[in-house]
Amino acid sequence: MQVKYRGPVRHVAIDSTGLKVFGEGEWKVRKHGYEKRRTWRKHYLAVDVDTHEVISAEVSLVNVGESEVLPTLLNPLRRKIHAVSGDGVYDTKECNKVLQRKFKTAT
């Protein structure tokens, strides 16, 4: 199957998920035991709805908000995009400003 990597994208969906980070050092576990809390990271994806191609991806710390990551997720894209969709987390003034500057329609 040949994938088209260039040209305009009709519709992009943006979402994020949490990733649990493991990996305490062996010495620390032997000396102090396992720590109850785990560290989290957020993984953001911008996906072409038609081809399911990942257009952009970003990983951040858990305390970084979606409005802070959205510009770094979308600004490097040089492809023409007609519509962008995301869940309610992206319904902020900062995200709307970024989307209105960059794209024709944002839902």
Angle (CA) 47 56 62, round 5°: 100
pLDDT in tens, 32-64: 777 666 678 899 999 989 888 888 899 999 888
**pTM for this entry:** 0.73
What's the topology of domain 9-106? Nucleotidyltransferase; domain 5 (3.30.420)
CA quadruple 88, 105, 69, 7: dihedral, nearest 10: 130
- Flag whether pLDDT at 66 surpasses 90: no
- pLDDT at 60 (0 to 100): 92
Q: Are 79 and 6 in contact (CB under 8 A)?
A: yes
- pLDDT at 1 (0 to 100): 46
Q: How many CA atoms lie within 13 A of 36 on its CB side?
A: 0
Beta strands at 105-106 and 39-48: parallel, antiparallel or unpaired: unpaired
pLDDT in tens, 77-102: 777 888 888 888 888 888 888 888 87
